[in-house]
Amino acid sequence: MRRSREATAQSRERIVSEAAQLFRERGIEGASVADVMNAAGMTHGGFYRHFPDKDALVAAAVDRAVDDVIGQIDQQAATEGLGAAISAYVSMYLSDDHVKSPRYGCPIAALASEARRAPETTRAAVTNGLASVVERIGKALPCEPEDQRPAALAMMAMLVGTVVLARSTADKALRDELLQAARAQAIG
């Protein structure tokens, strides 16, 4: 049954949105096309009316996840200033909730090691997201302008590394220690 243009656009929107969450939660290989379509309320066959293949969905989903994160930062920066927005971002990043729920969290921390073997479109989306966040962190750092970028890169590496390590270890105490150590370094 053919759908209206609006309904078609909404379907695509649901597919991308669910994919952005499922890929972060289960990994790219861990979430199948059928999984995503079911989450979007459809069967798998219709997928190819929206995307040429799974790789195209992956790229769109990573783009979406990146846009969401950057959008949140920029929105808060517009009302409360960039410094407050970055502070909030770092606090969120190093929170228990973020470690526990990759679904709505940083796509880079969730997908980074799969991205290494992903097609160019996906790698480009990750690179773009990384560059955008680093740029905003840099501007918010209280140091000499020429030191902002390296400091922002090192900060981002520590954020990503902390969350990746906290998620990979089974030891709750070690997880807490990691988060606290990173907070001390990043905030205090």
Q: Note the residues at the interface with DNA (CB under 7 A).
A: 1-8, 11-12, 29, 32-35, 37, 42-50, 53-55
Residue 180 binds to a second copy (criterion: CB under 8 A) = yes
Q: How far is the CB of 105 from DNA (least distance, A)?
A: 22
Per-residue HEC secondary structure of the chain comes to CCCCHHHHHHHHHHHHHHHHHHHHHHCCCCCCHHHHHHHCCCCHHHHHHCCCCHHHHHHHHHHHHHHHHHHHHHHHHHHHCHHHHHHHHHHHHCCHHHHHCHHHCCHHHHHHHHHCCCCHHHHHHHHHHHHHHHHHHHHHCCCCHHHHHHHHHHHHHHHHHHHHHHHHCCCHHHHHHHHHHHHHHHCC
Contact letters for a second copy, residues 41-70 (x by CB under 8 A): ------------------------------
Q: Contacts with a second copy in 117-156 (CB under 8 A)?
A: 117, 120, 123-124, 126-127, 130-131, 149-151, 153-154, 156
Q: How far is the CB of 118 from DNA (least distance, A)?
A: 13
Q: Which is nearer to DNA, 11 or 148 (CB)?
A: 11
Residues that bind a second copy (CB under 8 A): 26-27, 29-30, 102, 108-117, 120, 123-124, 126-127, 130-131, 149-151, 153-154, 156-162, 164-165, 167-171, 174, 177-178, 180-182, 184-185
